[in-house]
Homo-oligomer: A and B are copies of this chain.
Amino acid sequence: MPTAQDPLAQRLLAGDKRALARAISLVENDDPAGWELVREVFPHTGKASIVGLTGAPGSGKSTLISALTKLRRQADRQVAVLSIDPSSPFTHGALLGDRIRLTEHFLDQGVFIRSMANRGALGGLSEAALQAALLMDASGKDDVLLETVGVGQAEIDVIDHADTVVLVLMPGSGDSIQALKAGVMEIPDIIVVNKADHPLTDTMVREIRGVLSLAPAVKGAWRVPILKTEASRGEGVEVLVEKLDEHRAFIEEEGTLSERRQRNLRNEVLSICTFRMRRDLAARMEGDDEFARLLAEVVERRLDPASAATQILEHFEA
């Protein structure tokens, strides 16, 4: 199967873990060789099941992912985990504690674990994350698990690359359910209430049912299951595996999988274009006299931002 020219691409397609790690670093550093590599291995992608897991810090996503990885490995599937870690420079690595829960898999050749940090580039993280997921897919992983923290736009963009989206909630933590209720995040495909030992678990399940009941009922649509897990003891994780497989089968049968992927790829192309246009515009604005003049007028309140934007677009498109 490895038909690639580049030795790194060949090793990656053959499932070499170190080649995969190296390839992701290239992409993360925005090295042209990374984009080139993705281009070369892209025809070998599309086989993995891409699952996005999201939820607030502390909801136990990493423990759940660890338990899920264990079951997938028992079924002899290759697993890759990509944790999107939106850290600011000065607290860099603050979320690393979560990663520690995955250590039991570090020595397993069938498991690849990587975290990727937000480097502040607008839209850049989401793009780099997709490229990394494609590399994982190309390297022969059966399951690619994308872990994101929070419900911000960058995380939603990452999750948009997934075939199946799992929202992990924890009883008593109101923020996430409020975000769901408020529509800050879209309704996921599967909802997991983790740490289900908590006395407020059933209250939370009821609240979630209430939120889901607000959605218009569509005949033949996927019914979002609400699962209870206690990931630290592995409880309820088999049911999650079943539901993941059911959802995957459902979207394959319905044709929704190819629809989703088509929509995601379309948005991905548009996002990469937007990111590059913004980057190029910002670069051209640096040191441009006309821009400096317009900005000074805005700062002096003689020209409003929208009119300045119009003039800048005209200036640079001319």
A-side residues, CB < 8 A to B, are 35, 38-39, 42-46, 56-58, 85-92, 94-95, 118, 127, 130-131, 134, 149-156, 173-176, 178-179, 181-184, 186, 211, 214-216, 258, 261-262, 265-266, 268-270, 272-274, 276-278, 281-282, 285, 294-295, 298-299, 301-309, 312-313
> Copies per complex?
2
Tell me, in angstroms, the Cα distance from A127 to B308 when the chains sit together. Answer: 14
CB-CB under 8 A for A313 and B276, given A38-B304, A183-B86, A184-B152: yes
Tell me, in angstroms, the Cα distance from A134 to B56 when the chains sit together. Answer: 33
Main secondary structure of the interface of A (DSSP, over half): helix
Having A57-B175, A91-B183, one finds 19 other A-B pairs with CB under 8 Å, namely A42-B301, A42-B302, A56-B175, A57-B178, A58-B175, A87-B183, A89-B183, A91-B182, A91-B211, A91-B214, A94-B182, A94-B214, A150-B151, A150-B152, A152-B156, A173-B174, A269-B295, A272-B309, A274-B278
CB-CB under 8 A for A277 and B281, given A215-B90, A307-B39: yes
Partner of A305, one of B272, B308, B313: B272
- Asked if B269 and A312 sit within 8 Å, CB to CB, the answer is yes
- Asked if B277 and A278 sit within 8 Å, CB to CB, the answer is yes
List B contacts of A88 (CB < 8 A).
Answer: 182-184, 186
- Asked if A270 and B299 sit within 8 Å, CB to CB, the answer is no
List B contacts of A303 (CB < 8 A).
Answer: 42
A/B interface sample: 21 pairs, CB < 8 A? A39-B306, A43-B302, A57-B181, A58-B175, A87-B182, A90-B215, A91-B214, A118-B183, A134-B304, A149-B184, A150-B175, A150-B182, A152-B152, A173-B175, A175-B176, A261-B299, A262-B299, A265-B298, A269-B298, A276-B313, A277-B277
Tell me, in angstroms, the Cα distance from A134 to B298 when the chains sit together. Answer: 13
- Asked if A273 and B281 sit within 8 Å, CB to CB, the answer is yes
Tell me, in angstroms, the Cα distance from A179 to B231 when the chains sit together. Answer: 22
Tell me, in angstroms, the Cα distance from A152 to B173 when the chains sit together. Answer: 17
List B contacts of A282 (CB < 8 A).
Answer: 270
Q: A27: shortest Cβ distance to chain B, in Å?
A: 10
- Asked if B272 and A274 sit within 8 Å, CB to CB, the answer is no
Which of A39, A306, A308, A313 has the most C-beta atoms of chain B within 10 angstroms of its own C-beta? A306
List B contacts of A42 (CB < 8 A).
Answer: 301-304
- Asked if B182 and A305 sit within 8 Å, CB to CB, the answer is no
- Asked if B182 and A57 sit within 8 Å, CB to CB, the answer is yes
Which of A42, A155, A262, A276 has the most C-beta atoms of chain B within 10 angstroms of its own C-beta? A42
- Asked if A45 and B301 sit within 8 Å, CB to CB, the answer is yes
Q: A171: shortest Cβ distance to chain B, in Å?
A: 13
CB-CB under 8 A for A90 and B153, given A175-B176, A269-B305: no
List B contacts of A46 (CB < 8 A).
Answer: 301
- Asked if A182 and B86 sit within 8 Å, CB to CB, the answer is yes
List B contacts of A91 (CB < 8 A).
Answer: 181-183, 211, 214
